[in-house]
Amino acid sequence: MASKQVLLEGMLSPVIESMGFECWGVEYVSQGRHSVLRVYIDCEAGITLENCESVSRQISGVLDVEDPISSEYTLEVSSPGMDRPLFTLSQFERFVGSTVGIKLKMPFEGKRKYQGVLKGVEQDEVVLLVEQHELLLPYEMIDKANVVA
């Protein structure tokens, strides 16, 4: 995870958790002069639009005071959805048996994109079954990953 995302998640997670939600993950996408800050929240009961609005109001206040992003940006707060992104090894563990898509930072065995059944997590590696072959993908090589619904 990029350092800006780590900083933002560390800043926003306590606020989100104090409201009774889980901070599923944070994405910061720089798009020239205008960027997007995506914050994914979750809870067992599911996420409503009202939940997203109230979390957005709370974290907007924190972001205004702390001012961690110097350029213009749009704040988006949502549930992770059906094709939820996976940010942490514990999230990968929760979705063992699911089909996932993984994009790597650099090619591994000649490819950067894989889709297969998530078999497990072993230390710092994600075990993925792709076309009857088990791959051990180092977690630090993963750029993006998501559950494929």
Q: What is the pLDDT of residues 15-50, one digit of tens each?
A: 999 999 999 999 999 877 889 999 999 999 999 999
First to last CA, the chain: 24
Q: What is the pLDDT of residues 128-140, one digit of tens each?
A: 999 999 999 999 9
State residue 83's pLDDT score: 95
pLDDT tops 70 at residue 7? yes
CB 26, CB 9: distance < 8 Å: yes
The mean per-residue pLDDT over the stretch 87-95 comes to 96
DSSP 81-94: -TT-B--SHHHHHH
Instruction: Tell whether 4 and 61 lie within a shared domain.
Output: yes
Residue 44 burial (CB count, 10 A): 5
Alpha-carbon distance 127 to 6, whole Å? Answer: 24
Number of folded domains in the chain?
2
pLDDT tops 80 at residue 2? no
Output the domain CATH number for residue 25.
3.30.300.70
The pTM of the full predicted model, rounded to 2 decimals, is: 0.88
Domain that holds residue 7: 1-78
Alpha-carbon distance 19 to 38, whole Å? Answer: 18
